[in-house]
Structure 1
Amino acid sequence: MKYFKLPDLGEGLSEAEIVEWHIKEGDEVKEDQLLVSVETAKAIVDLPSPVSGKVVACFGQPGDVLHIGDPLVEYDSLAEDTGTVVGKIPEAKKTKAKKSTQAATDQFIIGSPHSAGSAHHSLSQAKATPSVRALARRLGVDIDAVKGSGPEGRILAQDVESSARIDQEKGQGEPLRGVRRTMAKTMSLSHQHVVPVSIFDVADVDKWPEGEDTTIRLAKAIAAACAEEPAMNVWFDGEHMSRRLCSQVDLAIAVDTDQGLFVPVLRDINNRSLSNLREGLNRLRADVKARTIPPSEMLGATITLSNFGTMAGRFATPVVVPPTVAIVGAGKIYQDVVVYKGKAEIRSVMPISVTFDHRAVTGGEAARFLEVVLKSLSKKRVK
């Protein structure tokens, strides 16, 4: 038998969620025929068949999360089976991960799937006896979502019954998928490794012309501040206690979607014009919305911007994601009474938050960075 396993989709991705099967068990498929669509944290990826043959089994259902190397499809023995890799995957198209093609071919191997499960192709990894599994099925409990209280985490009957009661009282839990799942993991990683400190201030933006592009002004202010205080535009390796000062400012900009938080990267913001930055950001956001953004466009940031003020809120403590050391939060612009040139005036102001990793950044460096951001934002125009 031959098994097509979930290929390495590149860009550090280790798992994918099955979205839709395009074939079923018993189908005769042709080489390059679409088998299944999977969703990663970056995009929807279509996986075609590397060979022609009969499908004996499909492993997993829509919504199942698979890891690299988990079996996807089992083919019947082929007459030309010589014990070598056969077939090839064509170059990925619009919504495919670009680096998946050769990896997918490499994953089409001869052997037994290491996590194929039992005859009904279950992908469950839960530790439970057949009787407890039967109880879970009868009560409609997802056994993979149950925390076992038995030895070595084994799931007991009372664990299943308790989960069933909670489902009945509170409603069934919704497993995190795709982007939200990755966001949860990323935030947990940050919580484990970063020592965050935040400082706050208010920028006077009363001189701005009507209709000013807030996000691009913020990007330019961050670029100016990184030029003055390069310690904020850094990759930090906490394990080896080393830092890499980055000469180019690659700004990650948080984009909120129904699927979760995407953070595409606007490259080289210190050497681009306002109009060029706006064009680039529009393209990134359109690709995020269409779920066609290449994974490479969400990697390599050196500092991050969260412009949550476009919706609501003044101050915040955004999360620093390693290996970067800083994130700027911009709150909602509002009018306030401030002292301007010795007199009390009503002026438009913007709350600014800077959260930094205190392992790599000093308070003085963060304060000097914030000072430049405020000065830049106070100008009527920037180039």
Structure 2
Amino acid sequence: MKTFTLPDLGEGLQDAEVVAWHVSEGARVVADQPLVSVETQKAVVEVPAPWSGTVTVLHAKPGDIIEVGAPVADFDIEGTGEDAGAVVGTLSKESTAAASLPSRREGSAIRAVPAARKLAADRGIDLAAITGTGPDGTITRKDVEAAASQPPSEGYEPLRRVRRAMARNMARAHAEVATTNVTDEANLSGWKANEDITLRLVLATAAACKAEPALNAWYDGRREARLLHARIDLGIATNTEEGLFVPVLRDAGNRSKKDLRAGLNAMRKDVEARTIPAHELRDQTITLSNFGMIGGRHANLVVMPPQVAIVGAGRITTEPRIVEGKVAACRVMPLSLTFDHRAVTGAEAARFLMKIMKALEE
């Protein structure tokens, strides 16, 4: 028998959530046949079977979170189970129950190091309610401390998939980035009635990046060094019912309007279908959020490291403004620029925002 463990999927994450099994226990599989789909860093990844043989045990069920290096499935390389075909879909309720993680308490005492037992006794914590992270599921002192720090679980719903990744990224950004904001508004009175708002924002952001390259950059806080990018790989904040995605519009500064619109359409389609490749959700050099399509005027947006800036466009309204000495009704778009003040000066940020305004007003 061989045990297949969750491999490093190349995204720098330590775990993944099981979305669906494509085989069941007792099924015969061949190497490279789809085995299980897992979600990590907002992308669904199909993991293939590593060997040919019979699947004897599935170590998790859909919704479970497994760590890199943890058991995924056991294989009898020489077994001859019933042929399951190429893909058999998700598990039935009966199979799902059988595929649950084996309990470390069945037939044996709870495994815990002495220090963990003492700490649990001192704090009145039930070891049976703790999942151990040590070898073979052994409960460590760190596990008990983590359990003691948790608020009451009644009524709480654990974050899953996209929202779990978003929560982790936001916490990381808040801990690392020294952000500040600059805001202004663009007068869109010269626009046609059917202007493509998102496309205009993409073009304006690209123009600003070319004029003020300091915002199209990455910053490494540990080395106190920045990397200015010649190419503009623009992240487009995309809202879905499951959470926030940020697919990347590659080389946004050197593409035609028609090509950029086709790229935006394809990105939206892939995000909604959950078929966007994982590599298209990373390595943004700057991000654009057109949150005004939903609502809101100005926003204190979150800069995701190693990026140093994110542009936000608020809700367009018609308001009175003084134009050539007279009051006129003008279409106005509020603009927000959040930037990492460790790598970007206030003057650079202000010039960048002014360039966006000028490009939008042309």
Settle same-fold status: TM greater than 0.5. Answer: yes
Q: Which residue pairs with 2:253 in the alignment?
A: 270
1:132·1:155 contact (CA, 8 Å) conserved in 2?
Answer: no
Instruction: Count the aligned residue pairs.
Output: 325
Q: Show the 5 A alignment for 1:317-336.
A: 317-336=300-319
Q: Does 1:307 align with 2:293?
A: no
Q: Does 1:298 align with 2:284?
A: no
Q: Which residue pairs with 1:349 in the alignment?
A: 332
Q: Does 1:44 align with 2:30?
A: no
Structure 1 pair 151–268 and aligned structure 2 pair: CA distance change class (3 A): closer
Q: Does 1:256 align with 2:239?
A: yes
What is the rounded CA distance, in whole Å, between the counterparts of 1:277 and 1:268 in structure 2? 9
Q: Which residue pairs with 2:9 in the alignment?
A: 9
Structure 1 pair 57–201 and aligned structure 2 pair: CA distance change class (3 A): same
Unaligned runs of 5+ in 2: 80-85, 87-100, 133-139
What is the rounded CA distance, in whole Å, between the counterparts of 1:334 and 1:157 in structure 2? 49
1:196·1:320 contact (CA, 8 Å) conserved in 2?
Answer: yes
Structure 1 pair 25–118 and aligned structure 2 pair: CA distance change class (3 A): farther
Deviations 1:209-262 (A, max 9, x none): 011011111111111111111111111111101111111111101000111110
2:131·2:143 contact (CA, 8 Å) conserved in 1?
Answer: no
Q: Show the 5 A alignment for 1:37-116.
A: 37-76=37-76, 78=78
Q: Does 1:154 align with 2:139?
A: no
What is the rounded CA distance, in whole Å, between the counterparts of 1:187 and 1:52 in structure 2? 41
2:29·2:54 contact (CA, 8 Å) conserved in 1?
Answer: yes
Deviations 1:68-88 (A, max 9, x none): 211101123648xxxxxxxxx
Q: Does 1:118 align with 2:104?
A: yes
| 3-state SS, counterpart of residue 154 of structure 1 | helix
Q: Note the C-alpha offset of 1:67.
A: 1.9
What is the rounded CA distance, in whole Å, between the counterparts of 2:175 and 2:147 in structure 1? 34
Identity rate, percent = 49
Q: Show the 5 A alignment for 1:137-148.
A: 143=130
| 3-state SS, counterpart of residue 41 of structure 2 | coil
What is the rounded CA distance, in whole Å, between the counterparts of 1:222 and 1:77 in structure 2? 55
1:132·1:157 contact (CA, 8 Å) conserved in 2?
Answer: no
335-344 vs 13-22, which deviates more?
13-22
Q: Which residue pairs with 1:339 in the alignment?
A: 322
Q: Note the C-alpha offset of 1:36.
A: 2.2
Q: Does 1:180 align with 2:163?
A: yes
1:6·1:72 contact (CA, 8 Å) conserved in 2?
Answer: yes
| 3-state SS, counterpart of residue 126 of structure 2 | helix
Q: Which residue pairs with 1:194 in the alignment?
A: 177
Deviations 1:306-338 (A, max 9, x none): 100011111101100111111111001001111
Deviations 1:23-65 (A, max 9, x none): 3444444444443222222432233322233333221222111
Two-structure CA RMSD over aligned residues (Å): 3.1
TM-score, normalised on structure 2? 0.81
What is the rounded CA distance, in whole Å, between the counterparts of 2:255 and 2:177 in structure 1? 31
Structure 1 pair 245–53 and aligned structure 2 pair: CA distance change class (3 A): same
Structure 1 pair 358–342 and aligned structure 2 pair: CA distance change class (3 A): same
Q: Note the C-alpha offset of 1:284.
A: 0.9
Q: Note the C-alpha offset of 1:158.
A: 9.5
What is the rounded CA distance, in whole Å, between the counterparts of 1:156 and 1:326 in structure 2? 34
Unaligned runs of 5+ in 1: 80-89, 91-114, 137-142
What is the rounded CA distance, in whole Å, between the counterparts of 2:218 and 2:236 in structure 1? 17
TM-score, normalised on structure 1? 0.77
What is the rounded CA distance, in whole Å, between the counterparts of 2:305 and 2:217 in structure 1? 10
1:42·1:293 contact (CA, 8 Å) conserved in 2?
Answer: no
What is the rounded CA distance, in whole Å, between the counterparts of 1:198 and 1:233 in structure 2? 16
What is the rounded CA distance, in whole Å, between the counterparts of 1:314 and 1:125 in structure 2? 55
Q: Does 1:236 align with 2:219?
A: yes
What is the rounded CA distance, in whole Å, between the counterparts of 2:247 and 2:149 in structure 1? 41
Q: Note the C-alpha offset of 1:157.
A: 11
1:253·1:305 contact (CA, 8 Å) conserved in 2?
Answer: yes
10-19 vs 184-193, which deviates more?
10-19
2:11·2:41 contact (CA, 8 Å) conserved in 1?
Answer: no
Structure 1 pair 262–368 and aligned structure 2 pair: CA distance change class (3 A): same
Structure 1 pair 276–342 and aligned structure 2 pair: CA distance change class (3 A): same
Q: Which residue pairs with 1:140 in the alignment?
A: none
Q: Note the C-alpha offset of 1:199.
A: 0.8
What is the rounded CA distance, in whole Å, between the counterparts of 1:228 and 1:212 in structure 2? 24
Q: Note the C-alpha offset of 1:125.
A: 11
- The one-letter code matched in structure 2 to 1:154 is V
Q: Does 1:210 align with 2:193?
A: yes
What is the rounded CA distance, in whole Å, between the counterparts of 1:180 and 1:298 in structure 2? 15
